[in-house]
Amino acid sequence: IIWPLLCGLAKAKYYLLTCKPLSGEEAERIGLVSLCVEDADLQRIAIETAEELSSGAQSAIRWTKYALNNWLRVNGPLFDTSTALEILGFTGAEAREGLASHLEKRKPVFPQDCPL
């Protein structure tokens, strides 16, 4: 989970643990996405951004991107663990109960025990 790196631990915990909906505007405000735009403006802004990047100093852009992404490379094992734990969460009894309760339009009744 990269959210704490993008928006801070407090906001990451709030949204990930409460499962509250997150609008595009809020995602931009807290730093989860770079930019939130109207649907009608999306293609134009994407093309403008691509043109801006393609006309920039390519070596500088490449090395800046490499430096920024280095944190992700260094912490690869952390992401492997996070991914494994997320998969466990998505495939367990809690996920099944959450989906069933949503489809049945009722409050979920989650198991009280936890394997960790």
Would you state the structure tokens that stand for residue 80, as one six-digit string?
Answer: 């492997």
Distance CA 23, CA 37 (A): 12
Beta strands in 1-116 (DSSP E): none
> Hey, where are the domains in the chain?
1-38, 57-108
> Which tens digits make up the pLDDT trace of 39-97?
999 999 999 999 999 999 999 999 999 999 998 888 888 888 888 888 988 888 899 99
Cα gap 48→30, rounded to integer Å: 24
Instruction: Identify which has the larger pLDDT, 34 or 85.
Output: 34
pLDDT at residue number 75: 83
For the residues 96-106, what does the mean pLDDT come to?
95
pLDDT of the residue at 113? 81
Answer for the pair 104, 96: CB distance below 8 angstroms, yes or no.
no
